[in-house]
Amino acid sequence: MAVQSPKFGIIGCGNIARFHFEGLRKAGAEVVHVVDRREDVADRYVKEFGAKFSTDYRALLRNPEVSVVTILTSSQYHYPMAMEALAAGKDVVCEKTMMDCADEAEAVAKRAAETGQLFFTAYMKRFFPAAIKAKELVPRLGTLFSAQVRAYQQWGNYYDIEPGAAVSTMPLDNYGGAIIKCAGSHMIDMTLYLLGRPASVYAHVDYVPGTAFDRKATALLEYDCGLAVSLEAATHPLKRIGYERNSWDEFIQINGVNGRLELFTVKWDEPENNPALLIHYDNETETTTEHRFGCVNPFDVEMEYMVRCLQDRVQGSPSAVDGFNVDLVIESMVESSKRRAPLTFDWRGL
């Protein structure tokens, strides 16, 4: 059978779009149709790829030339766009978080499975070479007994806010939540990628008083094997903390009876400044190895991988189910905190 090159239609040309377009350009992929409500933000991509332009995403879905739809809009549009793209017979690449809630994510994952079309949720941090190496090394740790996960981002001081002071609603409006959705989601995905699905969660979510703006979220994820993972996502005002001493403080540490892995990721929109770092301590040889890689942009690796999967008709990961997993963990953290009680995950047959 002749290999069919994917032909991309991209919806949304905002903040994240440049990484997708650049990755697709480097992968030699075709972009045939571009959509945004604003022509001015789409113009450079339309010209660069010689693509059609529309302001209405349904025009892109009707375009028979488009074989895969990339959804890069704010999160409240992910659900209708994904469902309509699948109904139109397209494969889908969707930015994170996949949907605004677990019910929507479940419906999309089930629909994608029914149609047999390919669906990718773009958690790009899995594509740092250091993260790929970490995945390879996890079995070397032997029986796992604990892990710590952190996603701290410098958004300013959200802890000394005067009662009644105005707080930006942008993350809530655009992304469906603040620190859990923006920072926590990535490291929840990383945790599930490296360690699999937990059995239950107990969480505390801390909001700016009087608002729905989550400024800190702390969770204990328990696994059937006895592994316990503590995870925290937080806004903070600390300018020089973290592995790069640039305020970006994001890592996962995994402890097993045979050793330890420490993975430090780097600032998402400046990955060319530093490589992500992986440290492996091996208890048999009593040696510590620092795995350092070139300054790779994980979006480039991700795009190249997804283009290859689309060409070969292979459902790689992160898939729609991976996107659902993260959405369910986030929703369960919020619910556990509200009830002040642990919750057992129901993975809904996915």
Ligand X SMILES: NC(=O)c1ccc[n+]([C@@H]2O[C@H](COP(=O)([O-])OP(=O)(O)OC[C@H]3O[C@@H](n4cnc5c(N)ncnc54)[C@H](O)[C@@H]3O)[C@@H](O)[C@H]2O)c1
| Of 10 and 112, CB closest to ligand X | 10
| Nearest partner of 191 among 236, 224, 226, 222, judged by Cα | 222
Query: Crossing angle of helices 320-339/102-115, nearest 10°?
Result: 160
Q: Please state, in angstroms and rounded to a whole number, the distance separating the CA atoms of residues 191 and 10.
A: 29
Closer residue to ligand X, CB minimum distance, 74 or 148? 74
> 93 with 303: CB under 8 angstroms?
no
Site string for ligand X, 160-199 (x = CB under 6 A): --------------xx------------------------
Total H helices, total E strands in the chain: 11, 15
Task: Map residues 37-66 to x or -, x wherever contact with ligand X holds by CB under 6 A.
Answer: xx--x---------------x---------
Residue among 24, 51, 60, 72 that touches ligand X (CB under 6 A): 72
Angle at 78 between CA 236 and CA 217, to 5 degrees: 25
Instruction: Show the binding pattern over residues 264-283: x = contacts ligand X (CB under 6 A), - = does not.
Output: ----x---------------
**Which amino acid, 150?**
R
Residue from 132, 9, 129, 1 nearest 69 by CA: 9
Restricted to residues 296-335, the positions that interact with ligand X (CB under 6 A) are none
The CB density around residue 59, as the number of other CB atoms within 10 Å, is: 14
Which CB atom, from 150 or from 280, has the smaller least distance to ligand X? Answer: 150
CB atoms within 10 A of CB 335: 15
| Residue number, nearest CB to ligand X | 14
Q: Interface with ligand X by CB under 6 A: which range of 33-41, 102-110, 196-204, 302-310?
A: 33-41
List 92, 124, 266, 301, residue binding ligand X (CB under 6 A): 124
Distance of closest approach, residue 14 Cβ to ligand X, in angstroms: 2
**Residue 6's closest CA among 89, 90, 67, 59?**
67
Nearest distance in Å: CB 234, ligand X = 17
Establish if 13 lies at the interface with ligand X (CB under 6 A): yes
In the complex, the residues that contact ligand X under the rule CB under 6 A are 11-16, 35-38, 41, 57, 72-75, 77, 95-96, 124, 174-175, 268
